[in-house]
Amino acid sequence: MTPETVQRLNIAGLVITLLTVIGAVIWAFPLYWGVVSSLKPEDEVVRPYIELWPETLTFAHYAHALTKTQIGVWYLNSVATAVGVTVLTVSSSLLCGYAISQLDFPLRKPLWWLILASFMVPTQTLIINHFELIAGMKLLNTWSGIILPQLIHPVIIIVYKQFFDNVPKDFREAAVMDNASEWRILTRVYAPMNWGVTTALSIVVFIWSWNAFLWPFLAVTKTEMMTITVGITQVNDAFGVYYARELAAAVLAGLPVALAYLVFQRKVTQAITLSAGIKG
């Protein structure tokens, strides 16, 4: 490699790095602006010019969100529903993926085609059907009513199915020779092999459920049953909108997910890579 080529590569790398940094700054600026604005008095927030740092630092808006609203109840609802969605989605997807991959039963292929087809249907198109069903079962304003329609994640089944397809057949044959049942084969042979995949998918499903807004917004009308993403829309005042208060509530709502992502970054990246590989 000639010195001229090396120099060109170094220049290209520098340009790509600069563009990446600029893109990251553009992406992160709204987040920074939201956090900084939540630390400003309301009169500073509504000024017609940009201030990158508050003149007067205040935590009054966070105190208002924590003491004057039902944010604790909203957190509880979000945790309960997100955990419920995660446990039920991952466990059912694990069982379904194993059955389609390893078992031979009637209508196995049509079921697999149906799952692949449902993967291409946007969840939002099913909102009306979901609402009618949940209302008919009298589950509006309940945790069950929030959880049940969010259990549809075909991509999780697809990931599990492809993982089980790639497990060497020798493991299954050895277990069958030992007269192991299908449940034992799943729990003692296949499931322990994919704890990393299960952990990654669980984290992503939890984040999806925590951030869900449209369905919880439609399924819940009582303030005490709202999740945090819906509840923060109630942080207002009879005399108008207080932007700093709403931004403080939004920061508190997103904080658990941000911390979870920082702690489990590798697992989240792994799950996103798996999902992207399926979609590709």
**Which tens digit of pLDDT belongs to each residue from 162-178?**
888 888 888 888 888 88
pLDDT top residue among 113 and 47? 113
Distance CA 208, CA 66 (A): 24
Report field, pTM of the whole predicted structure over 0.95: no
Q: Which two tokens stand for residue 227?
A: 């999740």
Per-residue confidence (pLDDT) for residue 79, from 0 to 100:
93
Q: Do 83 and 35 have their domain in common?
A: no
Place of tokens 């829309």: 233
Residue 278 or residue 251, greater confidence: 251
- Domain containing 31 equals 3-59
Q: How many domains does the chain have?
A: 2
Region 132-158 average pLDDT? 91
User: Do 192 and 268 fall into the same domain?
Assistant: yes
**pLDDT for the residue 237:** 55
Q: Are 271 and 90 in contact (CB under 8 A)?
A: no
| Residue corresponding to tokens 């397809």 | 165
Q: What is the C-alpha to C-alpha distance for residues 103 and 97, in angstroms, rounded to an integer? A: 10
pLDDT band at 77 (very low <50, low <70, confident <90, very high): very high
Q: Is the pLDDT of residue 64 over 60?
A: yes
- Tell the residue number behind the tokens 């400003």, with chain if given: 40
What's the confidence (pLDDT) of residue 280? Answer: 44
Same domain, 37 and 168: no
10, pLDDT greater than 80: no
Clarify whether residues 120 and 203 are in a common domain: yes
Measure the CA dihedral 190/191/192/196, to 10°. 120
The total number of residues shown for the chain amounts to 280
DSSP string, 8-52: HHHHHHHHHHHHHHHHHHHHHHHHHHHHHHHTS-HHHHT-SS--S
Instruction: Give pLDDT, residue 9.
Output: 65
Q: Which tens digit of pLDDT belongs to each residue from 224-263?
A: 999 998 988 877 654 467 788 888 888 888 888 888 777 7
Q: How many CB atoms lie within 10 A of CB 251?
A: 20
* Averaged pLDDT, 70-89: 93
> What is the spatial distance between Cα 130 and Cα 171, in angstroms, rounded to a whole number?
41
Residues 20, 157: one domain?
no
